[in-house]
Amino acid sequence: MPIVQAINGIVETYPVRPVTPREPVVDAVDSQTGKEPRQHAGDRTRLAAQQAYQEQTHPARSPKPAILAKDLMTTPVVTLPSDATLVDAWVLMTRRSFRHLPISSVHGTLVGMVSDRDLIRHAPDLVIAGIQSTAARRRLADIMSPRVLSATPTTDIREIARVMMDERVGALPILDTERRPVGIISKQDLLRGLANHVPLELWT
């Protein structure tokens, strides 16, 4: 399943790269004639022997099943409404050790994301003043990022990892067909999944 991005409520498909096995290396072609170089009988025999040896010592492995977002995502996901304040988000994120928080509409659909850096940037006295911070009384709708990359529960985690690296985001919300958050995947989730049960060959 593709990763999509919602910009002010408009959903667009994110141009992710397909996750397919690497293309086999083809034989070199003569740059002048456009023909493959001629092989001698001895070369063909030697190559056939090498191939037979490789097949015996390194038997073909059956393809591993893909690991999907639903296998790694943190669920249930905690959200706040867009009319909540920066103080509300700060208290929740501090108590639960969150770094990213999905923001939902009155209908429960995703409308934005807020990070701990967003809170500190817009209300730098939060760390010292806490709930007494005057700037922290602003609404999350005023500071949240409306450009949100999201994925579905059946998105391959390799695509999620690539998008998070390319876009430099620390977490990706996982949405159902109604664009309601059902989970979230962070860098820590990816690392934990890699350490626990993701075969390394999946990432090659």
61 inside domain: no
**SS3 assignment, position 36:** coil
Q: What pTM, to 2 d.p., does this model score? A: 0.65
User: What integer best gives the mean pLDDT of the chain?
Assistant: 76
Q: What is the CATH number of the domain that holds 76?
A: 3.10.580.10
158 falls within a domain? yes
pLDDT for residue 145 = 86
In this predicted structure, the answer to whether residue 63 has a pLDDT above a threshold of 60 is: no
Domain of 86, in residue numbers: 4-15+66-203
**Could you read off the pLDDT of 77-105 as tens digits, one per residue?**
999 999 999 989 988 998 999 999 999 99
Report whether pLDDT(8) > 60. Answer: no
Give a yes or no: residue 29 inside a domain.
no
Residue 38 lies in a domain: no
How many domains is the chain built from?
1
Of the candidates 101, 179, 175, the one whose C-alpha atom is nearest the C-alpha of residue 145 is 101
In this prediction, residue 162 carries a pLDDT of 92
Phi, psi of 107 (to 5 degrees): -90, 0
